[in-house]
Amino acid sequence: MSFLNSYETIYILRPDVTESINLSLVNYYKSLLKEKGGHNIVVQHRGRRHLSYNIMHYYDGIYVQMNYQASGNLLKLLEKSMRFNDNIIRYLTIKYDEQNAFNIY
């Protein structure tokens, strides 16, 4: 087993997605992480929030936070999937190192 890093990914969904699309995306990304070797996956729904600035003509978004342990290759696969998903308007991943500091990717 290769060394796993601790990551936190927050992604913002379009405000007009339905609850069923929201849940299916959460389940898809959670199962993708599990399938490809991710561990300790915790998903938190942060709810609908007002954006600081307009993103793709949206002023609100639905925030979802995922904390997990994974390899760097799995992170690339996850972010590529998010980049091509029309329901996700923004995502950000940070990596936690051993000193509990974090780095933004």
Neighbours of 50 (CB within 10 A): 8
Confidence band (pLDDT; 50, 70, 90) for 4? Answer: confident
| pLDDT tens-place string over residues 22-53 | 999 999 999 999 999 999 999 999 999 999 99
Indicate whether 1 pLDDT > 90.
no
User: Mean pLDDT over all residues of the chain?
Assistant: 90
pLDDT score recorded for residue 3: 79
pTM of the model: 0.87
pLDDT at 72: 87
Pairing of strands 88-96, 5-13: antiparallel
Please give the domain boundaries of the chain with CATH numbers for all domains.
5-104 (3.30.70.60)
